[in-house]
Amino acid sequence: MKIRKFASSDSKVMLEMTPMIDVVFQLLIFFMFTFKIVSVEGEFAITMPAAEQGSAAPSPENITALPDIDVRLLAGENGELAGIRIGEDAVASMDELAAALKAIVGDDPQIAADVEMRIDAPPTLKYGAVVSAINAAARVRIQKIKFSPPPGG
C-alpha cells in the first residue's frame, strides 16, 4: 500500500467565482421582482385660474397677514373645562369657538391655511377639551396649531 504525502505549503486555495455570480444574479432578480414603484410625493395636478385683467399679483404690500389666534382654555377643580377665551373675549362653548374662528378667518381656505392658532391649556385640563378645540379649528380649516409651553417648563 502506497501512502501519499499531502503538500501543505504548496497547495493553493482557489475561490470559486461561478456560484457567487449565480447567487448575485438570483438576488438581483429577486429584488427586481419584489420592487414596488410608488408615486412621487409632492406632485399635484393643479389647474391655476387665469389672472383677471388689471389684478395685481400677490405681493407683500397687498397681502394682509392675520395675527396668531390665541385660544386659552381654563380648567376647573376636577379638570373639566371651565372657560374658553379667544384673546380677551370669552366664548361659552366649542361651537361658539368655531363660530368665532370662522368670523376671524372667513371663507377663504388660503387664509385659514396660513393663520396659526396657539392653544394655551393648563396641565390639569382633561385632554378631551383640547381635542375639542383642535376639532373646532379643523372645522374652519385652520391647519397650523401650536401649543403654549407648560408653566415653569
Structural domains of the chain ordered from first start:
69-147 (3.30.420.270)
CB-facing half-sphere around the CA of 130: CA atoms within 13 A? 16
What is the residue-averaged pLDDT of the chain? 79
Kindly give, in sequence order, each residue whose CB lies less than 8 Å from that of residue 96, ignoring residues fewer than 6 positions away.
Answer: 84
pTM, full prediction: 0.55
The C-alpha atoms of residue 121 and residue 80 are separated, in whole angstroms, by: 12
- In the numeric block, the cell 377643580 is attached to 77
pLDDT value, residue 20: 93
Residue type, 136: A
Residue 31: pLDDT band (50, 70, 90) is: very high
